[in-house]
Each structure stands twice: as C-alpha cells, then as structure tokens.
Amino acid sequence: MTRTLLRRGAALLASLLCVVVLSPVAGHADNPVVQTIYTADPAALVHNGRVYLYTGHDEDGSTYFTMKDWRVYSSADMVNWTDHGSPMSLATFSWASTDAWAGQTVYRNGRFYWYVPVKNRATGRMAIGVAVADSPTGPFRDAIGRPLVENGEIDPHAFVDDTGQAYLYWGNPNLWYVRLNTDMVSFSGGPTQIPLTTAGFGARSGNPSRPTLYEEAPWVYKRNGLYYNVFAAECCSEFIAYSTAPGPTGPWTYRGTIMPRQGASFTNHAAVVDFNGGSYFFYHNGALPGGGGFTRSVAVERFAYRADGTIPTITMTTSGAPQVGTLNPYVRQEAETIAWSVGVETEPSSEGGMNVGWLNNGDYIKVKGAAFGAGATSFTARVASATTGGRIEVRLGGVTGTTVGTCTVPVTGGWQTWTTVTCPVSGLTGTQDVYLRFAGGSGNLFNVNWWQFR
C-alpha cells in the first residue's frame, strides 16, 4: 500500500478512535486484520492449532479488480496475524494472463489444494486452476498445468464432506458444482448447475435475468448434519446471505441475511470456520485509508449460532474478534506478527520468511495480549539498516504510552545485513498489549526480522 497514504490515513483513524475510546490499550482497532496492504476475498482454513487466512491482493490505487497474486496469513489467537507473504501468483499458472481473483484452500492427502479463478490466455475466459503445496504457507505449484474446469465463471470453493466425497462449487451468475476425485485435481462426470430457485436462494426484484439473490462466492460447509451455503447476494452493493440443505447439492432453502450491506466496498465475500471453541465469520470491506470497492481489506467477527442452528445477523466492527489465549513473548516472534500497525510494510527476508520494513519515525506495531508473567528483563530484536538506523521503543498502554525499554539500531550496511540488538526492559508483568514504536531521523530507518523478550 502507498505508505504516505497509509501512514497519514491510519494515524488519523487511530486518533479519531482514541477520541471515542477511553482505554488507551483498546484505542486502536484490530479490524481489518491486515493493515500493510489491501486484501480481499478471505478463505480460512484451520490446521494444527492455527487459522490460515488466504486472501487476494488489491493493488494500490486500483480502479478495477487489479489483482496479480495471493497472500497467506495465520494466527493462533485470532488477533495477532503473521504475514507469510505471497506463495502463489499469476506466474504460478503458465496458461493464465490476468485476474488473480477469489480462491480457497483445503487440506487433504497430506497436501494443501488452492483453487483459484484466473483468465485463460488461450480462450480469454475465466477458468478455475488448482495449485498444490506440502505446507499451508506454500510455495504452491500448478497441480495439472491447465485449467481444472472452465465455463467463464468464478469464485471456486472446495468442500470435503465427512463421507469422503469432495465437491467444488463456483459461479457468477450461475452456481455450479463437480464431484472431485480423491486426488483433488480431477473430477467425475461433468459440471452440474444447481437450480437457482427463489425458495432456495431468495427473491430479487427488478432484474428479470437474475431472479434470485445469489450473486457469487459460495462457501459450503456442514454443521450438525445440516449443510450451509453462505454467499454474496444481490450486487451492488452486496450483502451476505445463506441457505441450508439436507445434502451437499441441495435442495436448498433460503434462510436470510447474515451481514447486511455496509462498509465502503460494494462487494463482500465470506468465509466461516470454527476454531478453539468459537465460530468466526470473515469478510472484506474498504475500511483502510484509501479503501473502497477495488481496495478492500479483510476483517473477522466472532459469532454464536442460535439454538436452532440459524446464523444471527453480524455487523462489521473495528474491534474484531476477541483474543483466544495469549501470545508468548519469551519465544521468538516474527516482526510481521501484528495485531495493528501504522506505516509498516513487509517483504521477503534474506534469512527466510518475511521482515517488516520501510519504517519511518513514529511508525509502530501493536502486539496484543503478550503474557509476561512475573516480568521480562530484556528485549532482543534482529535488525538491519542501510541508512541511519534508529531506535525501537517498547511501550505499554498505547503508542504514546509508558516507555519500558529502548533498543538502539545501528547502521549495518544493508537492508538485509542483519545484526541482533538487546536492551533492558522494566515494568513488563502480567498480560499486556505491547507497542513497538520506531524512532529516529527522516526517511526509512531500519528493518526488523524478529524479536523476543527474556
């Protein structure tokens, strides 16, 4: 994201929030969950105690759905999200030309399968590709070297039923499915169109060519023997609605609205998962500075099903989901693990993974719910600087809160020439929200790869 826009706009947003929120710790919103770039079209996957969030990436200043790659984030507590970078792009598919749009990832056979819509260079139509990886964070590779299925429609979603049968759903303006084989990269039979009836998907008025509310972005799952189909409804602007069925292919019964029209984006796109005893609803809006219908941002809310299995109305918030557990500050934490940030960008690190960079005076990272117990005595960070270096101020209670330690960052001779710095800290006990404020002269100061308290 253009950093001048992000820094000025996010600083204004933070200041406005502080006016209306009295607690300094809670004074900065945690939604959207990513502030370093524009993200869209969330797809969530729970695996080995973490939630992996797969998103699209809206380019800065877009006036269309200009998207060239996909991104991955993960969290163990639903508030501190680690940036895993871009493990897949248009270049992954040699046959694709443009439009890295909304996809989804599932786990099966010890591998991760990411289904995405892209434009087929040979036909000029949208097609569904599938990539595979051995890790939830990639890298992903084209699984078959050609489209898995192609009929000009978009928004694939894969679902593995507890019977073992897997399905791939997709479509705009129609709704389709195929039965995937166990290899997850081929299917039996041909694409089947799901009837879009008003009983199944609600009634739309004023558009004879689209008589039902279904628009795009199906998300199908099973809960307590009932199948749910959550979808984007009635563009534009879209709201999120859902239907239920006794089986994975219907017949569907329309159940109503989940998330009404709201926010600065005229599209929306939902994902629903259960994690660590809670249910979570992911969506996108245009809440970041410069945000809108083509510069969107992913957010999340926690919700509870009603006793009869219906889904309550969910509204967008700036506070987001509550934290599940705490963060351990005494183990190495990636600097790109962030609950909230201002003026921060990320990039691949020469030491592996990602690092944060383009840090100017006053930029900061908030990490939520760090459990210090009896107390920390020192703070260590892995840093690099090609210019002037600067300082990392460890603060509590807010970005202007109490400074409990300051580490000096030297010039290292390059943005990827890393060294380790350590400084004493005091007053860090119990569970705290920690702010790492970056300070120094003008321009880009330094990069940070990871940090750890002792």
List, by residue number, the catalytic residues.
41, 215
Spell out a b/e string for 348-358, using b for 16 or more CB atoms within 10 Å of the CB, else e.
ebeeebbbbbb
The phi, psi pair for 59, rounded to 5°, reads -70, 150
Nearest to 213 by CA among 175, 248, 169: 175
CA distances from 303 to 8, 75, 231, 269, 443 (A): 33, 18, 17, 17, 43
Closest C-alpha among 118, 237, 135 to residue 170: 118
Distance between CA atoms of residues 345 and 57, nearest Å = 14
Can you tell me whether residue 302 is helix, strand or coil? strand
Spatial neighbors of 71 by CB under 8 A, at least 6 apart, are 34, 37, 39, 54, 55, 56, 57, 83, 84, 85, 86
> Long-range contacts: 202-209, Cβ < 8 Å, 24+?
202/233, 202/241, 202/254, 202/256, 204/234, 209/173
Residue that has been written with the tokens 């989804």 in this structure: 104
> How many other CB atoms are found less than 10 A from the CB of residue 192?
12
Point out which residues pair with 259 in neighbouring strands. 240
Q: Which helix (H) or strand (E) holds 205?
A: none
Q: What is the DSSP letter of 188?
A: E
